[in-house]
Amino acid sequence: MKSYISYISSKKSLFTFVLSVSLLGFLISCEEDSNFIQGGAKPIVEAYLVAGKPISLIVKKEIAYNEDTSNTQTPINGLDIKISDGTNTYALTSVGEGLYKSDTNVKLKVGVTYNLSFVYNGNPVTASTIIPTKPVGFKTDITSIARTKLNLSSGGGFGGGVDENVNVNLTWSNTTSDYHFVVVDNLEVSPVLIITLPTTTNFSDLTRRFRSQPVQGTTTILRSQQFQYFGKHNIVLLKVNPDYAALYNSTGSTSQNISTPPSTITNGLGIFTGVNADTLAFTVKQK
């Protein structure tokens, strides 16, 4: 099974988003507040803590106002990063490209508060999070759908071959209104497209993985035409903390509220949060 970290990481890079928002926020704030923190002074952290797994996180560099913004993915290596749970302290190893890892024998636990700490540019960077409990009662009303394979590579329209758009109803229990979202992932080594488009098409949004937005409810509806490939899929329900939902939703921010990207990291940007998940099997068959 694939790591839940790969499911929770946004297709659109969190670093790219936070970097661009941070730069825009700097431009806005420098006109309104002479006490702003110099751009480039904060690290951007991306860390998702998963129960039963060791620790891994990425640290990259914030864009400064006077820097070349074409390089938005500069890693920060060699930091002395520690994570503690009140009893144990885990020193992370810098393995390159901004990635830091704990020993593989570290196994994180549900309900434990984990504290991040390191120093960057002379400032203490800190954050804390807790790993939520596993989602409860995750169900689907159907476990497979059938789609018609269409080959439009030579041009022409769909004709009468478009399938009915069937609902896939996903439900779970959520008495405490926690945030959940769904990721659908095709598992095939060589997936087969349901609809093959003309080579001249400008449509480039073909993806083996798609997702819903975080909600505090108990249901999400998928549509059969969202699936672009035949074969076996994972439907993963992820339970996340409010900080993740806030950062996800802020991708729709405007210049009126974008000056500070949402983050619970002191003297830093990005996210340090816990996640838990449950998975259902799903199949897209060919008619």
pLDDT digits (tens, 9 = 90+) for 193-238: 998 877 665 555 568 899 999 999 999 999 999 999 999 999 999 9
pLDDT digits (tens, 9 = 90+) for 45-78: 999 999 999 999 999 987 654 555 454 568 999 9
**What structural domains does the chain harbor?**
4-133+241-275 (2.60.40.10), 136-237+280-286 (no CATH)
3-class SS string, the chain: CCCHHHHHCCCCCHHHHHHHHHHHHHHHHHHHCCCCCCCCCCEEEEEEEECCCCCEEEEEECCCCCCCCCCCCCECCCCCCEEECCCCEEECEEEECCEEECCCCCCCCCCCEEEEEEEECCEEEEEEEECCCCCEEEEECCCEEEECCEECCCCCCCCCCCCCCCEEEEEEECCCCCEEEEEEEECCCCCCECEECCCCCCCCCCCCEEECCCECCCEEEEEHHHCCECEEEEEEEEEECHHHHHHHHHHHCCCCCCCCCCCCCECCEEEEEEEEEEEEEEEEEEC
Q: Mean pLDDT of all residues in the chain?
A: 83
